[in-house]
Amino acid sequence: MPTLPPGANAALPAAAEVTLALTTDRGHVDLVALCVRKDGTADGDNGVALWSQPTAASGAVTIDVRTDTVTLRLDRLSADVHRVLVVGQADDVADLAQVGGMTGLLRAGGTEVATLVVPSPPALPTVQIGEIYRHASGWKVRCLGDGYAEGLARLLQVHGIDVAEEEPHAAQAAAPARSAPPVDLEKQRRVNLQKRVEATGSVSLVKSFQAAAVSLDKTGLTGVRAEVILVLDVSGSSLKLFRQGVYHQLVERFLAAALHFDDDGVIPAYLFDSRLHDAPDITLDNVERWSRDVAARMDLWGTTSYAPPIEAVTRTLRRGNAVPTYVAFVTDGGNQDRKQATQAIRDASALPAFFQFMAIGRENEFPFLQKLDELSGRTVDNAGFFAVPDPAALSDAEFYGKIMIEFPLWLKSARSAGVLG
């Protein structure tokens, strides 16, 4: 059974019911459970359970205030609930640093499956203990450990719940924390992430992670949350790129950037030649072997079509979502479906996804991608393009400068057009 410190995550076994029981070293902490959609919002009062209202999501989420246990009936959760946040609220203490460590014992179907440990909670009245979230066709759990100096009301506001008058309980708990020194949550998050990256033992991954942070600061993207997806060309000509280690370096670099945008440390991956192919997610645990495993497959290496992965990425997106999707689209050759790919990008322009096309070769070898970059008739400009003959010749700083330069502009125009909430 894994012990998960802040930032760590684990897959959950299939089970209809999951429980999390909280204990502390000293003092008492009240539990709050928040049901959050993919766009980051919750369903008003029906989306939150707490001590005075211990049921949410039409009964799928409950809190037992006697045993400090949250119960999730996953089979009864609405399909639009993407994750359930489990939060600790100061009760008989001014802030959660005073309770010492917090431990959440997680059971799935009655069996102990993980322990979430926040050994040193910050001096805040409201601290996120962990989240249970959808992943592929199942569920995962992640330990968190960050929080809100402004208390429970701020947590609810962040997730779209109007707070007309703060609960007396929350107000009393939050008040003493106003004199506490401010906590830079983004800096704290980065420190936790860097520790996870360093734990892999990969010097190149650590360097890429640090370079990505600098690039994000320069482009004003620090603190921006986004889902990062990698779309990778596996047509016949790309096999040499796998064998030469070029794709491995690219995968590692994109993972390092993705950690800053979405700290679950997971990149969903799409492989394509003339068809779309399944691929495992890229994670800190498998990044060293991921490219080798793909190169060993025998069902790939056909001709090239761009439309299938573009359509697959956008199929589940909805206009107005609050969380953008950044798609890194890597290819080493031209495509045979120009009409379909053009329409796919044009249709995708009304959805909250930005496509950064990266071609391996000389720019004049990819006239179609240049055309996509300048395509008319789109809701917003949703594609960027650059070509590079040898990706390994780019420093980390040059690489991140190229892949990040157009994303901030798209964020601004997509919000103005109502494409992004």
**Helical packing angle, 203-218 and 246-261, nearest 10°:** 50
pLDDT of 172 over the 70 cut: no
| Alpha-carbon gap, residue 265 to 257, rounded angstroms | 10
- Domains annotated for the chain, with CATH where assigned, are 3-181 (2.60.60.30), 191-416 (3.40.50.410)
The predicted structure's pLDDT at residue 162: 73
pLDDT of 178 over the 90 cut: no
The predicted structure's pLDDT at residue 175: 40
Confidence grade of residue 344 (pLDDT, cut at 50, 70, 90): very high
Listed range (165-169, 319-323, 326-330) with the worst mean pLDDT: 165-169
Q: Which of 27, 241, 257, 192 is nearest to 125 (CA)?
A: 27
Please give the C-alpha separations between residue 62 and each of 71, 74, 89, 143, in angstroms, as whole numbers: 5, 12, 16, 20
pLDDT of 168 over the 50 cut: no
**Helical packing angle, 407-416 and 396-404, nearest 10°:** 20
The predicted structure's pLDDT at residue 169: 46
For the entire predicted model, the pTM comes to 0.61
Confidence grade of residue 188 (pLDDT, cut at 50, 70, 90): low
Q: Which residues pair with 133 in a beta bridge?
A: 83, 140
Listed range (87-91, 261-265, 284-288, 332-336) with the worst mean pLDDT: 261-265
* Average pLDDT over the chain, rounded to an integer: 87
Q: Which of 276, 308, 278 is nearest to 294 (CA)?
A: 278
The predicted structure's pLDDT at residue 42: 86
Percent pLDDT > 70 in the chain is: 93
